[in-house]
Amino acid sequence: MAENLEIQEIQDEFLREAGFNLTDLRNQVQLTYWSEQHFITQSLIKLLPFREILSDIRFYSYVNYSLDELISKANQTLLYWRLSGITQYDRTPVTQLSLFYDETFLWHYSTPSYREEIHSQIQSGHRVRFLSQFLLSLTEIEVEFNEIRLQTNFNNDFQFVYTDSNTYQYKFANLRWQPICTILSFPLINPPTFSLPIMVPNALRRETEYQAYLAQV
């Protein structure tokens, strides 16, 4: 047991010296994840705007200038998985990670803080998006964005809804980004199909963490 612990300490020290500054996904209140392991590189998580409401300018700036950098940061995480020897529950190597926006943080903390601005942007014909999913595997990277729209409710007032928007996929075999789903035709107000945000927050006793992270943003 002592020998295994010493080997792990040496391995951890090697990874730190190699520049692998890590983030524990269990502490990231702005997102949820699906994976058997909990760590990715700090540089990758900082490049994923799960905490942001994206205006047109911010969205296209991200697509045009950050997607290529995302490849480099994703490769760092893949390299970390390989060098660290992290395995899944059945002791096979980790091969995939999926990150999603945290519904409670997005719809009950972040969005209300920008409610008037979002409403004004949509009323003026500008599109407002958010990062909804990030997928990393040994063969591909995928980023998916959803779009906030306005829907008339029973009180003849507007409520936020969301629709599919843009998805970009990068295949390591092809070495290029490819848009695989782009929906442009839906109206910004009263779209024919949409999804409703959660009505009741599921904070899991993280209210203080949500509020602290919102203040930090």
What pLDDT band is residue 205 in, cutting at 50, 70 and 90?
Answer: confident
- The tally of domains found in the chain comes to 1
For the cut 50, the answer to whether the pLDDT of residue 1 exceeds it is no
What pLDDT band is residue 217 in, cutting at 50, 70 and 90?
Answer: confident
Mean pLDDT value of segment 166-195: 88
- What is the bridge-based pairing of β-strands 96-101 and 39-41? unpaired
Greatest extent of the chain over all pairs of C-alpha atoms, in Å: 68
| Lowest mean pLDDT, pick from 19-23, 46-50, 189-193, 208-212 | 19-23
The residue written with tokens 């269990």 in the block is 26
CA-closest candidate to residue 83, choices 19, 150, 11, 147: 11
The rounded distance, in Å, linking the Cα atoms of 80 and 68 is 19
The residue written with tokens 């782009």 in the block is 182
Query: Tell me, what amino acid is at 51?
Result: R
Domain that holds residue 209: 2-216
The residue written with tokens 């209210």 in the block is 207
pTM: 0.86
